[in-house]
Amino acid sequence: MLGTQRRRRRDLRDERASVQAPDDLPCPWCLAPTLETDSRCPNCGQRFG
């Protein structure tokens, strides 16, 4: 079950990266793609701001 969740999370990150706007920045902690509307990193969970 855990492996399936990790794969799903990775797939979502890949999908988000492909639609990311040019002004969106990666997470400063793990460099995962993020969206401007994210309050936390979708990968490592660090809170932004």
Please answer whether residues 5 and 11 qualify as being in contact, where contact means their C-beta atoms are separated by less than 8 angstroms.
Answer: no
Percent of the chain with pLDDT over 90: 45
pLDDT digits (tens, 9 = 90+) for 33-46: 999 899 999 999 99
User: What stretches of the chain show up as alpha helix (H) in DSSP?
Assistant: 2-18
Query: What's the CA gap between 42 and 47, in Å, rounded?
Result: 10
pLDDT digits (tens, 9 = 90+) for 9-19: 666 666 655 55
Give the pLDDT confidence score for residue 3 in this predicted structure. Answer: 63
Give the pLDDT confidence score for residue 8 in this predicted structure. Answer: 66
How many residues would you count in the chain?
Answer: 49
